[in-house]
Structures are given as structure tokens and as C-alpha cells.
Amino acid sequence: MADKPLLPELMKAHGISRRGFLKYCATLTSMMALPPILAPKVAMALEGASRPSVIWLSFQECTGCTEAITRSYAPTIEDLIFNAISLDYHHTLQAASGEAAEAAREAAMEENWGNYLVIVDGSIPLANPGFSTIAGISNLEMLKQTAEGAAAIVAVGSCAAFGGIPHADPNPTGAVSVADIITDKPIINVPGCPPIPVVMTSVLAQFLAFGLDSIEVDDLGRPKAFYSETIHDRCYRRPFYDKGLFAESFDDEGAREGWCLYKLGCKGPTTKSVCATVKWNDGTSFPIQAGHPCLGCTEPDFWDNGGFYKPLSVPAGDYRKLGLAAVAGGAVLGVAGGAIARSVKSSAAAKHEPVTPDDLEKKS
């Protein structure tokens, strides 16, 4: 790794000024949800960061995560993050294929044993190893082999983090997440279908700048910088929710006025992600801003939770139970009614009775 140039040298080689570097650090600091005043510290940390070897493994996935992380970048700042790591294996992006590609992976592993970073997108089928293979190697075998010498693993996308769509009922391939197989390495989950591109690159940047220990994760292994608050917490439509102003259909007055999409099935109240602030397509918009409810794609089993267009207060599985708690605890009963909300939630769950928003209104 010693012969790989450091980030500021690379920037200099690309004709990027120190001002450009400062701008890059300011944006990165904002992306990492750190206070802006820390930008100089980010700059200092990046100045000394070496370029770690990265091996990207794609298993049962749609390539949406790779599309997302690559499509909107070059030649913007995120491109630099890729210049700042050494992406030694990514079978979708690399020119080599078959044995030559596998040789590149093995060489990178050998040279950087114990220090390389493994990024995984896609779930791993356990029902039959033949369901998904690369160069004749089953996903399970390749993951175990590659993980052994890794410093850490980043599971990008909901498939790698939680099993995702392949894992959805009835899970014909026996798909599981990375964390279901690898238990002796640090794993950072960056879920989303796909995750926000800058969230993926920012997690890598934080790893690069401050090391693995700096990435604080929640109980689902997600970096707290990006997954500590719900979309609902930061949604620009939140004031409408607080006032009880909801769109009832996609073409009514409320929808035109930009009111809250909760009754149309929005999963924002139970979905942790920075969609509402970082947004998509270089900060242009996010689903709720485009008039569509959040599907909750950063949460486990989002596909199996009873329908994208049913309000959260209709219990359908564990995830929905959480939804009821969040919603009842928030507006309908008021914050002080949290305990009552919990009892409503558990009794509803026990009886498995559908609870509509109207029912909740009556109880308040």
C-alpha cells in the first residue's frame, strides 16, 4: 500500500487546487453529518490517509447498487473517493473476466492480507450453492474466502445487509445477508434499495479518513451518521403531519398542496435514512418530494410488510408494529402518550386486528 499515492497528491496530479480540496472536505463533512467546523480535521485526516485495497463482491443482486454508486459520479467529487481507494476487484466494472479477474482478486488479497476492505452487494443463497456462482465459485465460498483476510466488510444495499428482495417471502433461494454468514469480522450495513450514492461513498470516506472505529453503528449495524433519524424526522412535509393535514389520494387537493403522505402508506416514520436531507440525484429530490410515499427500503424485510400503499397503522408483521408505536407516539396520542401507544401496539399485535388511521383518531 505504501507505493499508492495519498489523496492530496492525487488531487494535485489531477490539477485540483487546495481550494478544491477544502470544498471537497466541506461537502464531505456535511455528507458525514459532522459539524461544519470539523471540515479542517477531515482535511487533515484525509491528507494522511493511504489508499486501501477494496474488493467488491456482487452476489444475488440487480446491480442497482453498483449503478447507483457509479452512474451519477464521474467526474464529480465522489470520483475522487474512488481514486482514493484502490478498487482491485469488481466483476461488473473491471475489464478482466473469468480466471484473470479471479487472479486479480487473489493477488489483491495476498498483497493486502488483513488490511483490505470487502464491499458486498447482493444476498447469498444457501438453498443450493449453484443458484449463484462467479467463475464457478459459489457465492458462499467466495464470501468466506475473501472475508478471511479482510479488515472489515461493508454490506451495501438491503440485499447484502438484510437479505433484501431475494430474501422476500417465500425466499426460493434461501437468501441470507452477509452478517448471517460472517460473524468474526466487523460488518457495516449500508442498506437501501439502492442506498443513496453519497451515503455509500461517505461511509468509505469516513473509513478512509478516520478508520473503522470512527464509524458508530446502530443495532442493525448501520452507520449512525446516516441512519440515526427517520425520514419522517427530517421530512419537509412533517409540519403537515403535525397539523393533521394528509393527502387522501394521489390526485386530491392535499396531494397537490404537498400534504403528508402518511395515509397513502408512507413508511417515513419508521424508516431511518437521510433521504429527506441528502436527497437523490445530486441533491435534487427524494421520493416523498416527488409525491410518492417512502417504501421503507432501508429497513429489514421492507418487501414483506403488507403493501406499500397501506398506512403504517395497519399492523402486518414486526415492522408494522414498530410503525404503530412511532405513529401513535408521535401525533395521535401526543408524545406523553408513549406508554399508552405501546400498550395499543402490543394489544393490536396480540389480536392481530387491523387498525386504521380513523381508529387511532377515535382513541386519541
Residue span 21-60 as binding mask against another protein, x where in contact by CB under 8 A, dash where not: -xxx-xx-xxx-x-xxx-x---------------------
Which CB sits closer to another protein, 63 or 72?
Answer: 72
The single residue among 2, 19, 184, 213 that binds another protein, judged by CB under 8 A, is 19
Class of residue 155 by CB neighbours under 10 A (exposed 0-12, middle 13-18, buried 19+): buried
The size of the interface with another protein (CB under 8 A), counted in residues, is 35
By the 8 A CB rule, do 160 and 61 touch? yes
245 in contact with another protein (CB under 8 A): no
Contact between 17 and another protein per CB under 8 A: yes
Rounded to whole angstroms, what are the CA distances from 254 to 232, 238, 263?
18, 14, 11
Rule CB under 8 A: is residue 292 a binding residue for another protein?
no
Q: Characterize the bridge pairing of strands 187-190 and 150-156.
A: parallel
For the bound state, the minimum distance from the C-beta of residue 33 to another protein, rounded and expressed in Å, comes to: 7
Torsion from C-alpha of 142, 145, 149, 154, nearest 10 degrees: 30
20 is a site residue for another protein (CB under 8 A): yes
CA dist., res. 77 & res. 293, Å (int): 30
What is the largest distance, in Å, between two alpha-carbon atoms of the chain?
A: 68
- Asked if 110 and 147 count as a contact pair (C-beta separation under 8 A), the reply is no
Residue closer to another protein, measured from CB, 243 or 351: 243
Tell which residue, 276, 249, 273, has the closest CA to residue 261. 249
Q: Give 167 or 267: the residue with its C-beta nearer to another protein.
A: 267
The reply to whether 185 sits near another protein by the rule CB under 8 A is no
Q: How far is the CB of 288 from another protein (least distance, A)?
A: 11
Pick the stretch among 167-175, 276-284, 322-330, 332-340 that binds another protein (CB under 8 A). Answer: 276-284
260 binding another protein? (CB under 8 A): no
Q: For the CB of residue 32, give the shortest distance to another protein in the complex, in Å.
A: 11
Q: Strands 53-58 and 86-90: what pairing?
A: parallel
Task: Point out the annotated binding site for [3Fe-4S] cluster.
Answer: 275, 294, 297
Contact between 258 and another protein per CB under 8 A = yes
Distances (CA, A) of 14 to 83, 202, 208, 243: 10, 21, 20, 51
By CB under 8 A, name the one of 68, 154, 200, 235 that touches another protein.
Answer: 235
Query: Could you tell me which stretch among 153-161, 187-195, 204-212, 277-285 binds another protein (CB under 8 A)?
Result: 277-285
Rounded distance between C-alpha atoms, residue 341 and residue 347, angstroms: 10
- Is residue 156 helix, strand or coil? strand
C-alpha cell at 277: 436531507
Minimum CB separation of residue 77 from another protein in Å reads: 6
Q: Which residues bind another protein (CB under 8 A)?
A: 12, 16-20, 22-24, 26-27, 29-31, 33, 35-37, 39, 75-77, 234-236, 238-239, 258, 276-278, 281-284
